[in-house]
């Protein structure tokens, strides 16, 4: 039986799970794949490795030692007892999302938002006696994992809980697994020891890795070799940990400076075409980035070019900073890179194109950088120097080496943004002795790129992020001396850090239920009666590799084969779903480690990696400090499991941050729309587009049902409605399993919906579906026209003090079979160009040039570009079919077949459908085009027409006559109704308007008592009396 293995990065166990975790977890692929007939596995581990738990436990120890038990913190107005009472306040779901509006508490206000660890624990509703136990890090490992399991079960997660575990040496089976991984990596030379750059916490005295982080003055200082460096104080602190200063961590300040002290200084810039350059002011330099001094490249940096323009153009600015003209005015941008579409001076081109005025145009400057930066790096070609003619991305490292080798530069490293350790220390980039994974090895990178090539990344644009990360990745510290975890096999004084022990643990899921007995820490009775110390590296090799001989072990061969069979059936995993913050680390590292452990077994490599954005709550970032925060427990309590899951599915599927919002004609057409919904929703689930699956499988299908209900004026078909309910329930089951299970029972199904299959889809008549959309869109347009007509009349009535207008009672819909000749030419040209240019429209200038002087367009030239703009918008909404010159169905027939629905929907007494060829209404002729009928609504008079002449069928019918109708108009309307030519029709009126039509006609002279209406240009006027 086909299988599907999906997984999620195990969450950290230093608190309860929150809605952000749930957003990634809730990607509902397992339920869908089960409906498709596959055996599904969704295991769930719980991460305890790293520094946070140990740091929090040590904080509690410190707080008890310093402030007593229970601790009384300085500057707090609330007593411990009162704080406990506050923490025990009953959870009120209605207050979630409102808490952020109330501002900070007195305690928060006095501490600037900072909390003691004890207060954080109290906020979780814990008593002081219970908090005391958390001073032992082991207590965390037993407390939060069961709560995580309880919360996840409450949302209906389809997890095989036998395979759940905690990490660190607290679980000896997992500990043995991680040791095996690192023994094999070390044997391959993937793990090395030496000085490497890493984010370092001076306070903690150790590297600060990703999962351990919380979130104008210059100095001249002395370095080794008695050189003087000038930088910001922050950069100097970083530099002191990178081997530049005589004593690590000590900055020997020679002089303190401000920026103005440096302006005007003559400098030599390496590889510059100018012999001497001068220090200038720049307002966009950030103290928290780099050294606070940058080399200006106005040819390719819009920020630098803006600064150059400002200082050259503004004499007062030069005077303010004491800059002589000769230090500024002779300098112009020097072309160094050719960028496609921007030429040899890309920054100048973007600056001019966006009409940037100064350095203060921050939004435009950001746009200019976005326009030129990636193009310059990936497609730019060098114009100068030893590397002339080569691509920038190919020579970047070579130029860096040239600068270092010629003593024109030194290597300086820093974090991309300010990094605070969990202990509250601002981290630096330091050169440390450490064990590291050599992710910079080119052979390893090449194999990882091969892995990525075969991975489906969702969304597609995340692939570039992986490619960039692989290219830029270098050595990564994998050891630390503080925290929880597994000790490094090759050096037992170090622990393996948290992002390094979590790269291939998905393989452990396949066998752990047979080892640890369904207990988180592996302390239960092993189903195969295997002890952790029996799991040697050779045993793991046999289980996890295809062509290995059974090892020398006292584990029975039958047990080994059972473990191997489980692994071979389930691995590699089919999907890993994660937040976008793990793309540049965990998700990339797991590919590196998979190809290292299984280099010759690509069928064990990842198959799908799905990345989503962060979750916003009510359009704002979730934050415990502001109160805009929801735990998984609170979410289920407030919204129900399926209510939460539905909203999470609707929140979004891309890498953009998603938003969890708390408020959130005949049977044949419905049948085809149900079939289309099955096909489209199947495709969306398959591509892991859950928001789109919700759209096609729920919202649009509901809309189809509503449309059917409206159009079926004579009643809906019972079997069709039951078919709709059954399909709707199956399509929604992966997202809302609880309510769908209930509805499944109401339908009389004997077995659980979990045993059901994905619904089968019949044929789809796309033309009929398009006709259905045409009908509904037309009805919507008609309603808007009536509304606008009433609003306009109301506005005029207020101005002239007339009585308020009444709603129209009658209407005429005019349908055109062809476009005006000039519009048809434009449509054909745009469609040809759109398809020729791979779904891109030509530039407006090209359109104008094409039709300039065109005799067909002629006097309509002013209407040309508005039409083009409208058509572009239509294509964006409807696709290229919006450029068709004819509709694939009979518009008049569709409208007439549904005339009762339209009349009822528009609340009209009378409604006609006519071809524009049968009317003299010039506006109808000019406005109506295929697919967009023109409508006219009015208050008409229903007039009875009678034909009493001999030797013809007697008939009578009613037609609308309205103010200013000409005799020709009325004859044309009668002609359409009785299907006779206008030449054969004459109009008479009864001389006796009251009794004339009630008298027996004189068959010898049928025109007796009637007067011929001879003036064909005469008009009818409505008698207001």
Largest Cα–Cα separation, the chain: 131
Please count the CA atoms within 13 angstroms of the CA of 938 that sit on its side-chain side: 15
Most confident of 13-27, 471-485, 518-532: 518-532
Its pTM stands at 0.58
Q: Is residue 140 a contact partner of residue 48, using CB atoms and an 8 Å limit?
A: yes
* 232 or 180: which leads in pLDDT: 180
Pair 20, 613: CB distance under 8 Å: no
Do residues 448 and 458 lie in contact, with contact meaning Cβ atoms separated by under 8 Å? no
Where residue 124 falls among pLDDT bands split at 50, 70, 90? confident
pLDDT of 669 > 70? The answer is no
Confidence of residue 159 (pLDDT cuts 50, 70, 90): confident
Alpha helices (H) in 898-992, listed in sequence order:
899-906, 922-927, 967-978
How far, in Å, CA of 915 to CA of 817, rounded? 8
Top pLDDT among 959 and 570 is at: 570
Q: Residue 576 phi/psi, 5° resolution? A: -125, 125
Q: What is the pLDDT of residues 285-299, one digit of tens each?
A: 777 778 888 888 999
The string of DSSP letters for 369-410 reads HHHHHHHHHHH-EE-SSTTTTSBHHHHHHHHHHHHHHTTS--
DSSP track, 866-900: HHHHHHHHHHHHH-GGGG-SS-SS-HHHHHHHTHH
Could you say which DSSP state residue 214 is in? -
pLDDT in tens, 70-94: 898 886 654 444 444 444 443 333 3
Question: Span 130-141, mean pLDDT?
Answer: 93
Residue 1022: cis peptide before it, omega within 30 degrees of 0: no
The answer to whether the beta carbons of residues 182 and 54 sit under 8 Å apart is no
Mean pLDDT of 631-659: 67
Report pLDDT digits (tens) over 737-778. Answer: 888 899 999 988 888 988 888 888 877 677 777 887 888 888
Of 941 and 554, the one with more pLDDT: 554
> What is the structure's pLDDT at 901?
79
Could you tell me how many helices (H) and strands (E) the chain has, helices first? 37, 28
DSSP characters over 116-162 = -HHHHHHHTT--HHHHHHTTSHHHHHHHHHHHHHHHHHHTT----GG
Coil, strand or helix: which one is 252?
Answer: strand
Instruction: Give the pLDDT confidence of 164-200 residue by residue, as tens digits.
Output: 999 999 999 999 999 999 999 999 999 998 876 666 6
Helix, strand and coil in the chain, % to nearest 5: 45, 15, 40
Cα–Cα dist 6/159, whole Å: 10
Average pLDDT, the chain: 82
Q: From CA 418, how far away is CA 424, in angstroms rounded?
A: 12
Strands 615-617 and 495-496: unpaired
Strands 381-382 and 479-480 come out as unpaired
Token pair for 221:
């200082």
Q: Which of 47, 309, 6, 84 is nearest to 178 (CA)?
A: 47
In whole angstroms, give the CA distance from residue 576 to residue 654. 15
With CA atoms as reference, report the closest residue to 712 among 892, 890, 905: 905
pLDDT tens digits, residue range 212-230?
A: 444 357 888 989 888 899 9
CB of 281 closer than 8 Å to CB of 264:
no
Average pLDDT of 834-851? Answer: 85
Which of these ranges, 52-56, 355-359, 362-366, 900-904, has the smallest mean pLDDT?
900-904
What CA–CA distances, in Å, run from 936 to 892, 895, 961?
A: 16, 15, 13
Highest mean pLDDT among 437-446, 674-683, 816-825, 888-897: 437-446
Question: Please, which residues bridge with residue 947 across strands?
Answer: 955
Q: pLDDT value at position 645?
A: 73
Q: For residue 98, what pLDDT is reported?
A: 38
Q: What is the DSSP letter of 512?
A: H
> What is the predicted pLDDT for the residue at 620?
64
**CA nearest neighbour of 618 among 21, 215, 96, 16:** 96
C-alpha distances out from residue 285 to 265, 296, 494, Å: 18, 11, 40
Chain mean position to CA 305: 34
> Could you give phi then psi for residue 28, rounded to 5 degrees?
-90, 40
518, 159 Cβ separation under 8 angstroms: no
Strands, E assignment, 803-845:
810-815
Distance CA 301, CA 306 (A): 9
| Angle at which helices 346-353 and 362-379 cross, to 10° | 140
The pLDDT score that the predictor gives to residue 132 is 93
Instruction: Please state at what angle helix 462-472 crosses helix 442-453, rounded to 10 degrees.
Output: 170
- Sign of the four-CA dihedral 575, 579, 584, 590: negative
Q: What is the DSSP letter of 957?
A: E
């Amino acid at each position: 039986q086909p299988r599907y293995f999906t997984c999620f990065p195990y969450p950290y166990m230093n608190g309860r799970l929150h809605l952000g975790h749930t957003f990634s977890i809730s990607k509902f692929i397992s339920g869908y794949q089960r409906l498709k007939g596959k055996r599904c596995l969704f295991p769930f581990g719980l991460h305890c490795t790293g520094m946070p738990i140990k740091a929090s436990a040590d904080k509690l120890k410190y707080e008890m030692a310093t402030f007593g038990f229970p601790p009384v913190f300085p500057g707090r107005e609330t007593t411990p007892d009162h704080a406990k009472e506050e923490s025990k306040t009953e959870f009120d779901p209605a207050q979630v999302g409102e808490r952020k509006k109330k501002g900070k508490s007195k305690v928060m206000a006095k501490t600037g938002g900072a909390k003691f660890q004890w207060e954080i624990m109290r906020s979780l509703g814990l008593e002081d006696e219970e908090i005391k136990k958390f001073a032992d890090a082991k207590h965390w490992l037993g407390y939060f994992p069961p709560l995580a399991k309880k919360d996840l079960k409450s949302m209906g997660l389809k997890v095989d809980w036998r395979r759940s575990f905690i990490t660190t040496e607290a679980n000896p089976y997992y500990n043995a697994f991680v040791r095996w991984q690192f023994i094999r990596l070390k044997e391959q030379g993937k793990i090395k020891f030496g000085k490497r750059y890493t984010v370092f916490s001076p306070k903690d005295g150790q590297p600060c890795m990703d999962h351990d982080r919380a979130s104008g003055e210059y100095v001249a200082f002395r370095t080794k070799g008695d050189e003087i460096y000038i930088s910001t104080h922050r950069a100097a602190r970083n530099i002191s940990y990178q081997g530049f200063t005589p004593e690590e961590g000590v900055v020997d300040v020679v002089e303190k400076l401000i920026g103005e002290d440096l302006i005007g200084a003559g400098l030599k810039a390496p590889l510059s075409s100018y012999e001497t350059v001068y220090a200038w002011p720049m307002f966009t330099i950030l103290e928290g980035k780099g050294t606070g001094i940058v080399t200006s490249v106005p040819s390719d940096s819009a920020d630098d070019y803006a600064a150059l323009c400002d200082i050259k153009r503004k004499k007062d600015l030069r005077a303010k900073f004491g800059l002589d003209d000769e230090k500024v005015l002779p300098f112009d941008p020097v072309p160094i890179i050719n960028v496609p579409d921007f030429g040899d001076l890309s920054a100048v081109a973007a600056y001019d194109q966006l009409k940037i005025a100064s350095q203060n145009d921050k939004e435009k400057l950001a746009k200019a950088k976005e326009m030129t930066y990636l193009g310059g790096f990936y497609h730019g070609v060098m114009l100068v120097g030893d590397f002339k003619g080569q691509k920038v991305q190919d020579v970047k490292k070579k130029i860096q080496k040239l600068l270092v080798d010629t003593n024109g530069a030194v290597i300086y490293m820093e974090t991309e943004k300010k990094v605070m350790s969990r202990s509250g220390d601002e981290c630096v980039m330091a050169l440390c002795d450490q064990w590291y994974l050599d992710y910079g090895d080119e052979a390893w990178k090449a194999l990882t790129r091969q892995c990525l090539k075969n991975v489906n990344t969702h969304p597609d644009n995340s692939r570039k992020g992986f490619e960039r990360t692989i290219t830029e990745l270098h050595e990564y510290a994998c050891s630390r001396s503080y925290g929880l975890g597994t000790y490094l096999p090759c050096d037992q004084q170090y622990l393996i850090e948290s992002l390094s022990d979590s790269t291939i643990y998905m393989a452990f899921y396949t066998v752990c239920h047979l080892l640890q007995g369904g207990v988180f820490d592996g302390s239960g009775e092993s189903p195969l009666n295997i002890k952790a110390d029996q799991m040697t590296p050779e045993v793991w090799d046999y289980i996890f590799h295809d062509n290995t001989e059974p090892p020398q072990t006292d584990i029975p061969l039958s047990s080994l084969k059972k473990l191997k069979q489980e692994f071979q059936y389930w691995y590699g995993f089919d999907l890993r779903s994660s937040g976008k913050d793990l793309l540049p680390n965990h998700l990339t590292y797991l590919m590196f480690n998979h190809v290292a452990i299984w280099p010759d077994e690509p069928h064990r490599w990842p198959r799908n990696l799905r990345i989503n954005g962060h979750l916003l709550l009510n359009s704002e970032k979730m934050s415990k400090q502001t109160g805009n925060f929801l735990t998984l427990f609170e979410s289920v309590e407030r919204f129900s499991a399926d209510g939460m899951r539905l909203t999470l599915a609707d929140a979004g599927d891309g890498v953009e941050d998603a938003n969890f919002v708390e408020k959130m004609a005949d049977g044949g057409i419905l049948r085809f729309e149900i079939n289309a919904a099955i096909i489209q929703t199947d495709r969306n689930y398959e591509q892991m587009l859950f928001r789109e699956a919700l759209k096609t499988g729920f919202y649009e299908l509901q809309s189809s049902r509503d449309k059917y209900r409206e159009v079926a004026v004579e009643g809906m078909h019972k079997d069709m409605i039951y078919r709709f309910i059954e399909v709707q329930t199956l399509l929604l089951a992966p997202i809302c399993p609880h309510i769908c299970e209930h509805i499944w029972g109401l339908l009389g199904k004997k077995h659980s919906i979990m045993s059901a299959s994905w619904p089968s889809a019949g044929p789809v008549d796309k033309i009929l579906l398009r006709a259905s959309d045409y009908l509904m869109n037309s009805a919507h347009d008609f309603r808007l026209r009536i509304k606008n007509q009433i609003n306009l009349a109301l506005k005029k009535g207020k101005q002239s003090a007339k009585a308020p207008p009444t709603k129209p009672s009658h209407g005429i819909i005019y349908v055109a079979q062809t476009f005006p000749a000039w519009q048809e030419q434009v449509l054909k040209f745009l469609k040809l160009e759109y398809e020729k240019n791979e779904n891109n429209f030509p530039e407006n200038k090209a359109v104008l040039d094409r039709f300039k002087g065109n005799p067909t367009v002629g006097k309509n030239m002013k209407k040309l570009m508005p039409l083009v703009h409208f058509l572009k918008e239509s294509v964006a909404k409807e696709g290229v079919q919006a450029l068709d010159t004819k509709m694939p169905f009979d518009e008049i027939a569709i409208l007439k077949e549904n005339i009762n629905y339209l009349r009822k929907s528009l609340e009209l007494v009378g409604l006609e459908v006519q071809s524009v060829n049968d009317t003299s209404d010039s506006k109808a002729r000019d406005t109506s085009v295929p697919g967009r009928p023109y409508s006219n609504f009015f208050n008409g008079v229903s007039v009875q027409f009678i034909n009493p002449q001999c030797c013809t069928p007697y008939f009578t019918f009613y037609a609308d006559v309205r103010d200013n109708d000409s005799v020709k108009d009325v004859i044309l309307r009668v002609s359409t109704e009785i299907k006779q030519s206008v030449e054969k029709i004459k109009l008479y009126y009864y001389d006796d308007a009251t009794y004339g039509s009630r008298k027996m006609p004189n068959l010898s002279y049928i025109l007796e008592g009637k007067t011929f209406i001879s003036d064909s240009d005469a008009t009818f006027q409505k008698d207001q009396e």
